[in-house]
């Protein structure tokens, strides 16, 4: 029982890590093209958006919804990649940013950034607690937060994973669909897609103007993992399969160029599935030595994950450390996809102003500092969390007493892919707002 719980937690952790670490590549005018799209492929602006932080990153920076202490106010802010600072996107002179008259006031739950624009989903229940319509205002604005306009009212249940010049793509209810960036019209294109490509599968990226999908399926699908393409119009094409038990679901695969790299969870090998010809090849056996059978058919490689940095393939490996007995020991490698060699990476996050107490607490910034991993790839380099800054916060308990507690916030930075891979800590740090009083 304990073992199963541990394995479940390990899976959950790998999932969360994956969500945090999956890189997002922006296609921008003048940016170095990353994909190895074939010359015959139609020019497409379709871009994959990884869930979480990368979804709200564009060439201007990382957009965030600040929720100041009382929780009633929501303000749009930007970790500005040019100014290298975090700022509230309000252009009202002398504004104290303390109420809804603030120019940055935006009752949004999620943000999606595209080239030169930001889109916000503003569920009506955020401004009217009694609202049960299930609707959200779909709001568009310029990269600086200006020229705000509500395009339409849409379902508040959208999860987005792609954008092009015309649409935001995502899942709503169980359908794959899109929302027009011109007028906010929502269209469902393919039913029963969320369960296939999200709950029991993933959208891994974009290749040749289509989404690359993986389906491992629930208990009803036991034979094989299926890799396919989902067009922006909702047409699905299967490309090939990998035998069940030879593909690590969720975090164990990543798209790089025209190859879907994945971990063979029967032995820890890194494999490559060519989207071009449907062929599978063994890329590296360098990590197999770290795979340990934990018994009951579980291997330590079942909580590994793959990621990318500047066109390089990265593999995070968790393995039991024989000397300490610690099962959470992690190592990060750069896998050379032509030779299969694995080079260890060295940049780890820092803790700042952390008090020696609270060792038992959990969450970001507790435990041993982890590796720096790319959140998103932008023309300015890799967007990363380089440190966690600790500070004291407080809340008022039921007796009206202020209770102090230690918490942390991420310190974001940009670093070139070259410096990152070489382990050179040449960061351009983004200065944060003052710590909340």
The tokens for 283 are 């890329």
CA distances from 379 to 28, 58, 126, 248 (A): 8, 9, 35, 31
The DSSP bridge partners found for residue 243 are: 224
DSSP string across 45-60 = --EE--SSGGGGEETT
HSE of 183, CA atoms in CB hemisphere, 13 A: 2
* Whole-angstrom distance, CA of residue 198 vs CA of residue 184: 23
Cβ nearer to Zn ion, comparing 90 with 269: 90
- Taking the complex as a whole, the smallest distance from the CB of residue 433 to Zn ion amounts, in Å, to 13
Angle at 16 between CA 258 and CA 349, to 5 degrees: 95
* Strands 381-396 and 350-352, sheet pairing: parallel
For residue 216, the minimal CB distance to Zn ion (Å) is 47
3-state class of 378 per DSSP? strand
Residue 263 tokens read as: 């971990």
* Cα distance between residue 290 and residue 286, in whole Å: 9
Our CB check for Zn ion shows the closer of 77 and 302 to be 77
Closest CB 66 distance from Zn ion, rounded Å:
11
Q: Which residues pair with 377 in a beta bridge?
A: 25, 382
**CB of 88 or CB of 154, closer to Zn ion:** 88
Rounded to a whole number of angstroms, the minimum distance from the CB of residue 76 to Zn ion is 10
Min CB(259)–Zn ion separation in Å? 47
Pick the closer one to Zn ion by CB: 38 or 98: 98
* Beta pairing partners, 111: 120
Shortest Å distance, C-beta 201 to Zn ion: 43
Q: How far is the CB of 75 from Zn ion (least distance, A)?
A: 7
Q: Nearer Cβ to Zn ion, position 39 or 96?
A: 96
Give the shortest CB-96-to-Zn ion separation in angstroms.
7
Contacts with Zn ion, residue ranges (CB under 5 A): 90, 95, 97, 102-103
Q: How far is CA 374 from the centre of its chain?
A: 9
Task: Give whichever of 74 and 303 is closer to Zn ion, judged by the CB atom.
Answer: 74
* Burial tier of 23 (Cβ tally within 10 Å: 0-12, 13-18, 19+): buried
Query: Which H helix or E strand runs over 61?
Result: strand 61-66
Do residues 422 and 433 touch, judged by C-beta distance below 8 A? Answer: no
C-beta closer to Zn ion: residue 84 or 97: 97
**Which is nearer to Zn ion, 71 or 400 (by Cβ)?**
71
């Amino acid at each position: 029982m304990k073992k199963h719980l541990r394995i479940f937690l390990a899976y959950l952790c790998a999932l969360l890590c994956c969500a945090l670490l999956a890189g997002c590549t922006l296609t921008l005018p003048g940016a170095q093209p990353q994909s190895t799209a074939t010359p015959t492929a139609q020019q497409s602006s379709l871009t994959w958006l990884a869930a979480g932080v990368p979804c709200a990153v564009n060439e201007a920076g990382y957009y965030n919804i600040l929720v100041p202490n009382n929780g009633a106010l929501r303000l749009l802010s930007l970790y500005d990649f040019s100014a290298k600072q975090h700022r509230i996107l309000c252009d009202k002179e002398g504004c104290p940013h303390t109420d809804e008259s603030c120019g940055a006031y935006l009752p949004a739950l999620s943000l999606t950034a595209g080239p030169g624009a930001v889109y916000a989903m503003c569920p009506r229940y955020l401004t009217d607690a009694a609202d049960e319509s299930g609707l959200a205002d779909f709001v568009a604005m310029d990269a600086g937060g200006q020229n705000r306009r509500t395009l339409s009212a849409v379902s508040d249940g959208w999860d987005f994973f792609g954008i092009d010049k015309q649409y935001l793509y995502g899942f709503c209810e169980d359908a794959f669909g899109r929302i027009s960036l011109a007028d906010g019209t929502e269209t469902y294109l393919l039913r029963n897609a969320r369960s296939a490509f999200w709950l029991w599968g993933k959208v891994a990226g974009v290749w040749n103007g289509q989404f690359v999908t993986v389906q491992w399926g629930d208990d009803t699908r036991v034979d094989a993992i299926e890799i396919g393409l989902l067009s922006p119009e909702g047409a699905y094409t299967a490309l090939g399969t990998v035998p069940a038990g030879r593909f690590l679901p969720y975090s164990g695969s990543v798209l790089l160029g025209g190859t879907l790299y994945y971990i063979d969870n029967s032995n820890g090998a890194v494999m490559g599935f060519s989207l071009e010809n449907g062929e599978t090849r063994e890329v590296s056996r360098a990590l197999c030595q770290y795979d340990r059978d934990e018994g009951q058919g579980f291997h330590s490689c079942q909580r590994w994950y793959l990621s990318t940095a500047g066109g390089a393939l990265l593999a995070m490996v968790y393995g039991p450390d024989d000397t300490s007995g610690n099962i959470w020991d992690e190592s990060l490698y750069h896998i050379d996809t032509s030779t299969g060699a694995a080079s260890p990476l060295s940049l780890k996050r820092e803790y700042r102003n952390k008090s020696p107490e609270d060792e038992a607490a959990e969450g970001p910034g507790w435990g041993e500092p982890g590796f720096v991993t790319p959140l998103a790839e932008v023309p300015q380099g890799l967007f990363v969390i380089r440190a966690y800054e600790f500070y004291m916060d407080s809340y008022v308990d039921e007796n009206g007493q202020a209770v102090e507690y230690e918490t942390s916030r991420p310190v974001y930075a940009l670093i070139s892919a070259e410096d990152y891979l070489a382990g050179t800590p040449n960061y351009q740090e983004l200065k944060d707002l003052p710590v909340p009083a």
